[in-house]
Amino acid sequence: MLTRERAEQIFKQVLKFSTADETEAMMSSTSYSLTRFANNTIHQNVQEEGSYLSVRAVAGQRTARASTNRFDETSIRQAAEAALELARTQPPDPDLLPMPAPQTYRAVNRSYGETAELTPKARAETVKIAIARAEKDQLTAAGIFSSGASAFGLFNSRGLAAFHEETLSEFSVTMLGPTSSGWAKRTSPLALELDAEALADRAARKALGSVDPKEIQPGRHTVILEPAAVLDLLGFLFWDFGGLAVHEKRSCLTDRLGQKIFGDNVEVRDDVFHPLQSGAAFDGEGMPRQRVRLVEKGVAKNLVYSRSSARKMATEPTGHGFPLPNEYGEAPMNIVMEGNKSSVEEMVASTERGLLVTRLWYIREVDPYRKILTGMTRDGTFFIEEGKVRHGVRNLRFNQSVIEMLGQVEVLGAAERTSGEESFDMVVPPLKIRDFNFSSVTKF
């Protein structure tokens, strides 16, 4: 695994071979292991290790990158020379800024030896528990248990030096019955926090509770979205909070910044320092990440900015830029949506008639300005009547504006670190929403 000392040595070699006006080096190494299971049997154990070095050279107002996955002297020299050669062939970029000077970063600890050193045997013992839970009720279990570590360094010829180490683990399980399914998933830098046994039990209970699902009519329903469903919808919204997206008028916030477009109870910030978040304290340019309040009492309050976007919009960078060169600019990647104290069970008890949705999938954007999305429910959709979950229902397709949805939130639950399938991890609560629009019923 790459250490800070080794990263600094590699950068010294990059500088030795680079004759560019300015030079930047990004480098990383990863080591991840995965145990995959299906049909109540482990069928795959893999381990992958990799590393890369990406050198960015600047020649006047031109810049380009060249990469290698080897850290030997010859490969480093070739990458440095290739980056400069490529840069000289690029058209001038009038928005290109000098590389940033040294920065100060707030420390974040997201690296745990217990996770990095997790063995295949330990993962297999955990999977064994999940499979036993499936077999208890004649269900079939499938899923993954992965763990590993990564290190990332960013250095430039003006003296900037940033380095971050992190571990990550993930347990995901789907329980299958003849006519139903259930799902649960969690990620954490610390594998001990996953609680795979509880996740397996949750997935099993959802599969058992949705046996022989009944068909209901589509239309507008009160819906309780569990955190994974909330996350996968919000993932389509927050790319629009980038300064460049608004500047180029391709954001749904174009001409809406500073306006109240969500409900009073919607509060969102980008906060890499939240204890349930992950990631480095610096962005792809090496700028310190800042906490940014994106939505306050339903008002689209602030955007995030890279250095270039900040200059264009006469403001300050917030530490949310991507590595240069790129066409995206920036985006908030550490979303925290404020919640409340209500549990999903309390939301159900307060609902006269509605639906409980475990998660969503196959989500696609229909209208980027109104943020209308379409997709389907999956792995546990339930009918609520008189404050109780009565039975499973066939999955439904939805066509719903996320902007409209966040104006119809009646109750928020407790925010939690959440992982889905369509977006990056966030800290979000379950939501009870009125008039959520379902357009059709599926066949399963």
Predicted local confidence at residue 66, as pLDDT = 98
Report the distance separating Cα 378 and Cα 381, nearest Å.
Answer: 7
pLDDT averaged per 10 residues, the chain (length 444): 97 98 98 98 97 98 98 98 98 96 96 96 98 98 98 98 98 97 98 97 98 97 98 96 97 96 98 97 98 98 98 97 94 97 96 98 96 98 98 98 98 97 96 98 84
State residue 162 phi and psi, 5-degree precision. Answer: -130, 140
30: left (phi over 0), alpha (psi -120 to 50) or beta: beta
Q: How many CB atoms lie within 10 A of CB 97?
A: 16
Amino acid at 136: K
And the tokens for 237? 């919204």
In sequence order, the 6+-apart residues with CB closer than 8 A to the CB of 39 are 140, 142
Predicted local confidence at residue 103, as pLDDT = 98
Report the distance separating Cα 384 and Cα 352, nearest Å.
Answer: 7
Report the distance separating Cα 110 and Cα 50, nearest Å.
Answer: 20
Report the distance separating Cα 233 and Cα 250, nearest Å.
Answer: 19
Burial of residue 275, with CB atoms counted within 10 A of its CB: 0-12 exposed, 13-18 middle, 19 or more buried: exposed
Predicted local confidence at residue 442, as pLDDT = 87
Distances (CA, A) of 99 to 57, 154, 158, 159, 291: 10, 12, 7, 10, 23
Amino acid at 128: K
Predicted local confidence at residue 106, as pLDDT = 96
3-class secondary structure, 184? strand
DSSP assignment of 263-294 equals: -TT--EEE-TTSTT--S-SB-TTSPBP--EEE
Asked if the peptide bond before residue 325 counts as cis, ω within 30 degrees of 0, the response is: yes
Could you tell me whether strands 219-225 and 353-367 are parallel, antiparallel, or unpaired per DSSP bridges?
A: parallel
- Geometric angle at alpha carbon 78, from 73 and 81, rounded to 5°: 125
Amino acid at 414: A
The 268-270 sheet, strands edge to edge: 299-300, 292-296, 268-270, 335-337, 426-428, 416-418
Report the distance separating Cα 353 and Cα 283, nearest Å.
Answer: 45
Predicted local confidence at residue 444, as pLDDT = 79
20 close to 85: Cβ distance less than 8 angstroms: no
Our measurement of the distance from residue 265's CA atom to the centroid of its chain's CA atoms, rounded to an integer in Å, reads 23
Distances (CA, A) of 113 to 34, 89, 119, 150, 352: 17, 45, 12, 12, 48
And the tokens for 185? 């998933």
Give rounded-to-5 percent helix, strand, coil for the chain: 25, 40, 35
And the tokens for 68? 């290698």
